[in-house]
Amino acid sequence: MSVRLYIGNLPKEEIDRQELQAVFAAEGDAVTTKLIKDRKTGKCRGFGFLTVNNDEQADQIIEKYNGQMFKETPIKLEKALPRTKGEEGEEQGAQPKAASASGGSSTPNVNKDNSRREKGSKKSRRGGGTRENATTSTDSDAVRPDPRWASELEKLKQMLAAQATN
Q: Tell me if 109 is assigned to some domain.
A: no
Q: How many domains is the chain partitioned into structurally?
A: 1
Mean pLDDT to the nearest integer, 34-62: 92
Q: How confident is the model at residue 150 (pLDDT cuts 50, 70, 90)?
A: confident
Strand spans (E) along 28-166: 32-37, 44-52, 69-70, 73-74, 76-79
Q: Tell me if 21 is assigned to some domain.
A: yes
Predicted local distance difference test score (pLDDT) of residue 30: 82
Residues 153, 142: Cα–Cα separation, whole Å: 11
pTM of the complete model: 0.51
Higher-confidence position of 95 and 153: 153
- The rounded mean pLDDT for the chain is 74
CATH value at residue 64:
3.30.70.330
Please give the residue range of the domain that contains residue 57. 3-80
Q: Does the structure show a pLDDT above 90 at 60? A: yes
Quote the distance between the C-alpha of residue 3 and its chain's center: 24
- Which one-letter amino acid corresponds to residue 74? P
Residues 106, 104: Cα–Cα separation, whole Å: 6
Higher-confidence position of 80 and 129: 80
Q: Tell me if 12 is assigned to some domain.
A: yes
Please state the length of the chain: 166
Q: Tell me if 10 is assigned to some domain.
A: yes
Q: Tell me if 115 is assigned to some domain.
A: no
Mean pLDDT to the nearest integer, 26-46: 90
Q: Tell me if 86 is assigned to some domain.
A: no
Residues 93, 78: Cα–Cα separation, whole Å: 10
Comparing 13-27, 108-122, 144-158, which segment has the lowest mean pLDDT? 108-122
